[in-house]
Amino acid sequence: MKIGGSSNESGETYAAVGNNDAFSLEIEGVSRSFGDRMILREVSLRIGRGELFGLLGPSGSGKTTLIKLITGIDAADEGRIAILGERVPSLPLLGRIGYMAQADALYGELTAKENLMFFGAMFGLGGSRLTERIGATLATVGLAQEAGKLVSRFSGGMKRRLSLAVALLHEPELLILDEPTVGIDPALRVSIWTSLLALRERGTTIVLTTHVMDEAERCDRIGLLREGSLTAVGHPDALKARTGAATIEEAFIRLGGDRA
Partner 1 sequence: MRVRALTMRIFRQFMRDRRTLALLFVAPIFILTLVYFIFGGPGSAPKIGTAGLPDTIAGALRASSADIVPYDSAAAARSALDERKLDAVLAVTEGKPTLLLEGSDPSRSRAVLLAVSTMQRTSAATVFQPDIAYLHGKPGMSSFDAFGPVMIGFFSFFFVFLLAGVAFLRERTTGTMERLMATPIRRHEVVLGYLGGFGLFAILQSALVACFAIYALGMFMSGSIWLILLVNLLLTLTALTLGTLLSAFAGSEFQIIQFVPIVIVPQAFFSGLFPLDGMSAWLHKLTYLMPLYYGGEALRGVMIRGEGFGGIGVEVGALLGFSLLFAALNVIALKKQRAI
In the complex, the smallest distance separating the C-beta of residue 145 from partner 1, rounded to whole angstroms, is 21
Q: Please, are residues 39 and 65 in contact by the beta-carbon 8 Å criterion?
A: yes
Q: Does 95 bind partner 1 (CB under 8 A)?
A: yes
Q: Does 250 bind partner 1 (CB under 8 A)?
A: no
The end-to-end CA distance of the chain, in Å, is 42
Taking the C-alpha atoms of residue 5 and residue 148, their distance in angstroms, rounded to an integer, is: 37
User: What are residue 101's phi and psi, to 5 degrees?
Assistant: -85, 175
Contact pick of 10, 13, 65, 71 for partner 1 (by CB under 8 A): 71
Q: Does 126 bind partner 1 (CB under 8 A)?
A: yes
Contact pick of 109, 201, 214, 237 for partner 1 (by CB under 8 A): 109
Q: Does 123 bind partner 1 (CB under 8 A)?
A: yes
In the complex, the smallest distance separating the C-beta of residue 178 from partner 1, rounded to whole angstroms, is 10
Q: Long-range contacts made by residues 19-22, C-beta under 8 angstroms, separation at least 24?
A: 19/48, 19/49, 20/46, 22/48, 22/49
Taking the C-alpha atoms of residue 68 and residue 73, their distance in angstroms, rounded to an integer, is: 5
Contact pick of 17, 147, 150, 188 for partner 1 (by CB under 8 A): 150
Q: Does 97 bind partner 1 (CB under 8 A)?
A: yes
Q: Does 15 bind partner 1 (CB under 8 A)?
A: no
Q: Does 91 bind partner 1 (CB under 8 A)?
A: yes
DSSP 54-89: EEE--TTSSHHHHHHHHHTSS--SEEEEEETTEESS
Q: Does 154 bind partner 1 (CB under 8 A)?
A: no
| Stretch touching partner 1 by CB under 8 A, among 24-32, 108-116, 136-144, 242-250 | 108-116
User: What are residue 77's phi and psi, to 5 degrees?
Assistant: -75, -40
Omega before 172 within 30 of 0, i.e. cis: no
Binding site for partner 1 (CB under 8 A): 71-75, 89-92, 94-95, 97, 99, 101-107, 109-110, 114, 117-119, 121-124, 126, 150, 166
